[in-house]
Amino acid sequence: MSDSDPSRNGDDRWAQYRQRLIRLGQTSVGERILIAVSALLLSIVVGTVIVTVAGLMATCRSPVLTFGSTTLCYDPFYVFNRLFLGALGDPFAGGWSPLNAQFAATLRETTILVFTGLSVALAFRAGIFNIGTQGQLIIGALAAALTVLWAGSLVSGTLALVLFIPLGLLAGAIGGGLYGAIPGALKAYADANEVITTIMLNFVAVRVTLYLVRNHFADPTSQATQTRTLPVEGQFPSILFDPRTDFSLLALLLALAFVGGVYYLLEHTAFGYDLRTAGIQPAAAEYGGVDSARTILTSLTLSGALGGIGGAVFVMMTLGKFQTGIPSYGFDGITVSILAGNNPIGAVFAALLFGVLKSGSNVVAFATNVPPQLVGVLRGLIILFVAMPEFFRIIGRRLATREPDSPAAATAGGGADD
């Protein structure tokens, strides 16, 4: 076969691409931070071009700039200023306080996204694609609300103050965990595709909770489909921040505690080693004595429990009641997990970035005349640019574990950044 043979050239090119992916999978933490920052800056440059072009094509009464007969309706620099600095409450403005309402809104989004990011990341580390965190969050939210309302009819006073929040969190964990165990059992013992089952169970969760709240647990004084308001003892207290911001520093600290707990579970326990090994090299894990069925079931149950706790926090911190139409925190958690490289600690920073973008998008909508569709494009562009290098790094890491001579293959258990 000649050197110019097309099939051989194609194989050579694939081998080169494979080696590049493997190299990307072995990048250091410093290199990954540099790549992420570069990707963020590049997304801003591309976004600036998009906003400028859209501003030139749009028609408006008060253009920000005029070139003869050509007008620019949107100021791209001000748009990104509002998107990032606006989400923090203008930190460079005079009299700025870290306790401002806009920063509280950013931290509120971040808190919920930490839980959903952890939920998805834990399952991903086991090699399981849990797309059902949204449904698990919804079930956990309703379970927490109903449990606290039930306890409120029995207990009051100091005991309620001590009991209700832990009880609501426990109910959310049990509800989300049991709902996550359903696709876990189907995957472990019936070899059902977890992507399909978890996606379908999202819709089931929405419809079941809608039926239950509308027909059995509705607040008779409200036209909305919601439960009665939780007792004050069952809601997270607003520490330092204004109660009207619907954010609790205690809930954020709880989320950070779970980050530490999940990190310890994955990196410093025998179960975490089994879970990571099963996710990277399932055949080797089975050969080493890992019970794959038990690992699948347990990991999806724990993943669902984390999503359920996120739902409980949303109910007890943000809403103060269960209400249908919960935002898509579970689906956003998938992006958070990818941005973090399935790293529990990285999930904090990824959730913060996502929280800034979500909160900043609202600021842009109020402070500028930029259409919300364009703001959504900018937010998606930033996420895409930052997430794609990490996505390919995960692929490269998995390819490396299948290379017998690669350094990563010698440590199939994986590290904290898998």
Tokens matching residue 58? 């749009």
Residues 178 and 141: their CA atoms lie apart, in Å, by 13
Q: Is the dihedral of CA 120, 123, 124, 129 positive or negative?
A: negative
Q: 156 or 344: whose pLDDT is higher?
A: 344
**Confidence category of residue 171, pLDDT binned at 50, 70, 90:** very high
Residue 340 has pLDDT above 60, yes or no: yes
Per-residue burial over 81-116, b if 16 or more Cβ lie within 10 Å, else e, is bbbbbbbbbbeeeeeeeeebebbbbbbbbbbbbbbb
Residues 115 and 387: their CA atoms lie apart, in Å, by 19
pLDDT digits (tens, 9 = 90+) for 250-267: 999 999 999 999 999 999
Average pLDDT over residues 195-206: 96
- Tokens 């472990």 belong to which residue? 188
Task: Tell me which of 252-256, 375-379, 404-408 is least confident.
Answer: 404-408
pLDDT recorded at residue 415: 42
Percent of the chain with pLDDT over 70: 84
Residue 352 has pLDDT above 70, yes or no: yes
pLDDT recorded at residue 37: 86
**Confidence category of residue 410, pLDDT binned at 50, 70, 90:** very low
Side-chain-side CA neighbours of residue 16 (13 Å): 6
The answer to whether 414 and 280 are in contact (CB under 8 A) is: yes
Domains of the chain by start residue, with CATH = 25-75+368-399 (no CATH), 102-352 (1.10.3470)
pLDDT recorded at residue 27: 63
Tokens matching residue 60? 């408006």
Average pLDDT over residues 389-411: 56
Which DSSP symbol is given to 230? Answer: P
pLDDT digits (tens, 9 = 90+) for 307-321: 999 999 999 999 999
Highest mean pLDDT range out of 39-43, 105-109, 153-157?
Answer: 105-109
Highest mean pLDDT range out of 22-26, 334-338, 384-388?
Answer: 334-338
pLDDT recorded at residue 4: 56
